Protein backbone atom coordinates (compact mmCIF):
# COMPACT_ATOMS: atom_id res chain seq x y z
CA UNK A 1 0.00 0.00 0.00
CA UNK A 2 1.56 3.34 -0.98
CA UNK A 3 1.78 6.31 1.36
CA UNK A 4 -1.23 8.55 0.91
CA UNK A 5 -1.28 12.31 1.56
CA UNK A 6 -2.37 11.90 5.21
CA UNK A 7 0.42 9.43 6.02
CA UNK A 8 2.95 11.63 4.26
CA UNK A 9 1.79 14.63 6.31
CA UNK A 10 2.11 12.57 9.51
CA UNK A 11 5.61 11.35 8.62
CA UNK A 12 6.73 14.87 7.74
CA UNK A 13 5.42 16.14 11.08
CA UNK A 14 7.15 13.34 13.00
CA UNK A 15 10.42 14.32 11.30
CA UNK A 16 10.03 17.89 12.60
CA UNK A 17 10.24 16.82 16.24
CA UNK A 18 13.62 17.42 17.88
CA UNK A 19 15.59 14.18 18.11
CA UNK A 20 18.36 15.29 20.45
CA UNK A 21 16.34 15.46 23.66
CA UNK A 22 13.29 13.77 25.12
CA UNK A 23 12.49 17.06 26.85
CA UNK A 24 11.77 18.96 23.62
CA UNK A 25 8.54 18.92 21.68
CA UNK A 26 6.49 20.89 19.19
CA UNK A 27 3.53 23.21 19.49
CA UNK A 28 1.24 23.31 16.45
CA UNK A 29 -0.58 26.63 16.47
CA UNK A 30 -4.25 26.85 15.53
CA UNK A 31 -3.41 29.04 12.52
CA UNK A 32 -0.91 26.53 11.08
CA UNK A 33 -1.59 24.87 7.76
CA UNK A 34 -4.75 22.75 8.18
CA UNK A 35 -2.94 19.65 6.93
CA UNK A 36 -0.39 20.00 9.76
CA UNK A 37 -3.12 20.60 12.37
CA UNK A 38 -4.99 17.53 11.11
CA UNK A 39 -1.81 15.41 11.06
CA UNK A 40 -1.08 16.37 14.68
CA UNK A 41 -4.58 15.34 15.73
CA UNK A 42 -4.26 12.00 13.93
CA UNK A 43 -0.88 11.35 15.55
CA UNK A 44 -2.39 12.12 18.95
CA UNK A 45 -5.31 9.77 18.23
CA UNK A 46 -2.79 7.03 17.33
CA UNK A 47 -0.79 7.57 20.53
CA UNK A 48 2.28 8.94 18.74
CA UNK A 49 2.28 12.40 20.38
CA UNK A 50 1.20 13.51 23.84
CA UNK A 51 -1.14 16.36 22.85
CA UNK A 52 -3.54 17.03 19.95
CA UNK A 53 -1.46 20.10 19.08
CA UNK A 54 1.89 18.32 19.19
CA UNK A 55 3.46 18.14 22.61
CA UNK A 56 6.07 15.44 22.98
CA UNK A 57 6.65 12.20 21.15
CA UNK A 58 5.49 9.17 23.10
CA UNK A 59 7.62 6.01 23.26
CA UNK A 60 5.86 4.86 20.10
CA UNK A 61 6.54 8.26 18.56
CA UNK A 62 10.25 8.01 19.29
CA UNK A 63 10.38 4.57 17.66
CA UNK A 64 8.55 5.86 14.61
CA UNK A 65 10.78 8.94 14.40
CA UNK A 66 13.90 6.75 14.38
CA UNK A 67 12.49 4.60 11.57
CA UNK A 68 11.32 7.64 9.61
CA UNK A 69 14.79 9.18 9.88
CA UNK A 70 16.40 5.97 8.59
CA UNK A 71 14.00 5.83 5.63
CA UNK A 72 14.50 9.51 4.86
CA UNK A 73 18.28 9.21 5.06
CA UNK A 74 18.41 6.09 2.91
CA UNK A 75 16.20 7.57 0.21
CA UNK A 76 17.85 10.98 0.06
CA UNK A 77 21.45 9.70 -0.08
CA UNK A 78 21.17 7.41 -3.05
- Average pLDDT score over the chain: 93
**Quick check: helix, strand or coil at residue 50?**
strand
72 contact partners, CB below 8 Å, separation of at least 6: 15
The answer on pLDDT for 21 being more than 80 is no
For the sheet with 49-51, list strands across it.
26-27, 54-57, 49-51
Using the predicted structure, report yes or no on whether residue 11 has a pLDDT greater than 90: yes
pTM over 0.85: yes
Paired strand residues for 57: 49
Amino acid sequence: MPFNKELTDELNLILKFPNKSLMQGLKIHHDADPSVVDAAQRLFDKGVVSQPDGGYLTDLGHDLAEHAQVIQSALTHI
